[in-house]
Amino acid sequence: MDKRLINLLLVEDDEDDYILALDYLQEIPDFEFNVKWLSDYDLIMQALQDEPFDLCLLDYQLGAHTGLSVLEAAKNMGCATPFIMLTGQSDGVLDAQALTLGAEDFLVKSEINSVQFIRAIRYALARKDIAIERLERLKIESDSRAKDRFLAHLSHELRTPLTSIIGYTDLLLSRAELDSIKPELSIVHSNSQHLLALLNDVLDLSKIRENTLSLNKSNFALSPFLADLQNLFGIAAQKKGLLFTIEADTPVPEFICSDATRLKQVLINIIYNAIKFTQSGEIRVLLTFEQKHNQSVLNFSIRDTGIGIPQEKLKRIFNPFEQVQDTTTRTEEGAGLGLAISASLIKLLGGNFQVDSVLGQGSTFTFLIDTGVSSENLVNLNLQQPVALQHKALTTNDTLQGNVLIVEDVSNIRLLLTNIISATGAKVTSVDNGQKALTLLSDEQQHFDLVFLDLHMPIMGGREVVVAARSQQITTPIVALTAAALKGSEETLQALGFDQVLTKPIDTQQLHECLTHHLSAASNERDALESEQPITTQTKKVLLLEDDKDARELMGLLLKSLGIEVFSAQNIQESLRVYQQEQRFDLVILDLNLPDGSGFDAAQAIKNINATQQLAIISGSEPEPESLVALGINHVLLKPVSLPDLQKLIE
Q: Which of 184, 209, 234 is the last residue of a domain?
A: 209
* Residue (of 438, 302, 449, 444) closest to 366 by Cα position: 302
Segment 412-460, tens digit of pLDDT: 678 778 877 887 889 999 999 999 999 999 998 889 999 999 888 888 8
Q: Which of 209, 227, 261 is the last residue of a domain?
A: 209
Segment 610-650, tens digit of pLDDT: 888 899 998 877 777 777 777 778 788 877 777 777 888 88
Does residue 43 lie within any of the structural domains? yes
| In a shared domain, residues 565 and 639 | yes
Helix (H, G, I), strand (E, B) or coil at 11: strand
Burial readout 11-24 (b: 16 or more C-beta within 10 A, e: otherwise): bbeeeebbeebeee
The Cα 149–Cα 154 span in angstroms is: 8
pLDDT-based confidence at residue 325 (cuts at 50, 70, 90): very low
Number of domains in the chain: 5
Does residue 385 lie within any of the structural domains? no
The Cα 129–Cα 110 span in angstroms is: 28
Range of the domain at 316: 218-379
| In a shared domain, residues 59 and 17 | yes
Residue 488: burial class (beta carbons within 10 Å; 0-12, 13-18, 19+): exposed
* Omega before 224 within 30 of 0, i.e. cis: no
Q: What is the CATH number of the domain that holds 196?
A: 1.10.287
Does residue 395 lie within any of the structural domains? no
Average of per-residue pLDDT across 359-368: 92
pLDDT-based confidence at residue 157 (cuts at 50, 70, 90): low
| In a shared domain, residues 366 and 407 | no
| In a shared domain, residues 278 and 323 | yes
Q: What is the CATH number of the domain that holds 455?
A: 3.40.50.2300
Does residue 119 lie within any of the structural domains? no
| In a shared domain, residues 592 and 632 | yes
How far is C-alpha 415 from the chain's CA centre? 22
| In a shared domain, residues 164 and 272 | no
Q: Is residue 24 scored above 80 in pLDDT?
A: yes
Q: Are residues 547 and 159 in contact, defined by beta-carbon separation less than 8 angstroms? A: no
How much is the pLDDT for 138?
62
Does residue 528 lie within any of the structural domains? no
The Cα 110–Cα 633 span in angstroms is: 74
Segment 526-580, tens digit of pLDDT: 444 444 444 444 688 999 999 988 778 778 877 887 888 999 999 999 999 999 9
| In a shared domain, residues 584 and 547 | yes
The count of other CB atoms within 10 Å of the CB of residue 111 is 13
| In a shared domain, residues 259 and 320 | yes
Does residue 122 lie within any of the structural domains? no
Does residue 163 lie within any of the structural domains? yes
Q: Are residues 7 and 52 in contact, defined by beta-carbon separation less than 8 angstroms? A: yes
pTM for the predicted model, two decimal places: 0.42
| In a shared domain, residues 430 and 304 | no
Does residue 343 lie within any of the structural domains? yes
Q: Which of 113, 146, 166 is the last residue of a domain?
A: 113
- Percentage of the chain modeled with pLDDT above 70: 82
| In a shared domain, residues 101 and 239 | no
- The Cα angle at residue 405 between residues 401 and 411, in degrees rounded to 5: 125
| In a shared domain, residues 356 and 242 | yes
Q: Are residues 543 and 574 in contact, defined by beta-carbon separation less than 8 angstroms? A: no
How much is the pLDDT for 322?
54
| In a shared domain, residues 350 and 229 | yes
